[in-house]
Amino acid sequence: MIRGMRGATTASQNTEETIISATEELLAKLIEVNEVKPELVASVFISTTEDISAAFPARALRKFPGWTYVPVMCMREMPVDNSLQMCIRVMLHVNTEQTQQEIKHVYLNKAKVLRPDLDVKAQK
């Protein structure tokens, strides 16, 4: 069965280095806590708020061994009034036997406010 694994983080600046670094940290944690194998990933969607424009965050995923052929797409979030700025969101579509309750979603930095109920620490 394909399940979605969510995560979000924020970048401190709109620079290539900061965007790639923040995305890499988020993806590494999401992959680690869910023990994701790249060959089981159907696709990855990465979205950003409008204030992130210096780099494609999907480039961070290419730093991980075995992820070369995983389809990844970047897109822009809807501009909603008073929403979290400098935000990078990730959705992994993974073939897994895990139930929805067993999946660990990851929210880092200022993005922790988006889903405090799904905080990895709270799930332990």
Determine the length of the chain.
124
The catalytic position among 3, 6, 25, 59 is 6
Contact 6, 105 (CB under 8 A): yes
Q: What is the pLDDT of residue 117?
A: 85
- Report the CATH number that the domain containing residue 72 is assigned in CATH: 3.30.1330.40
Active-site residue, 62 included: yes
Q: Sorting pLDDT into bands at 50, 70 and 90, what band is 95?
A: very high
Residues 118 and 60: their CA atoms lie apart, in Å, by 24
Q: Sorting pLDDT into bands at 50, 70 and 90, what band is 124?
A: very low
Residues 111 and 89: their CA atoms lie apart, in Å, by 9
Active-site residue, 76 included: no
Overall number of domains in the chain: 1
pLDDT over 90, % of the chain: 90
Q: What is the pLDDT of residue 116?
A: 84
Active-site residue, 107 included: yes
Please determine, for residue 78, whether its predicted confidence score (pLDDT) is greater than 70: yes
Residue range of the domain that includes 39: 2-123
Contact 47, 8 (CB under 8 A): no
The catalytic position among 69, 74, 87, 102 is 74
Helix (H) or strand (E) holding 43: strand 41-48
Residues 27 and 7: their CA atoms lie apart, in Å, by 8
Active-site residue, 77 included: yes
Active-site residue, 115 included: yes
Residues 7 and 119: their CA atoms lie apart, in Å, by 10
The catalytic position among 16, 62, 76, 102 is 62
Kindly report, residue by residue over 35-54, the tens digit of the pLDDT.
999 999 999 999 999 999 99
Mean pLDDT, the chain, rounded, equals 94
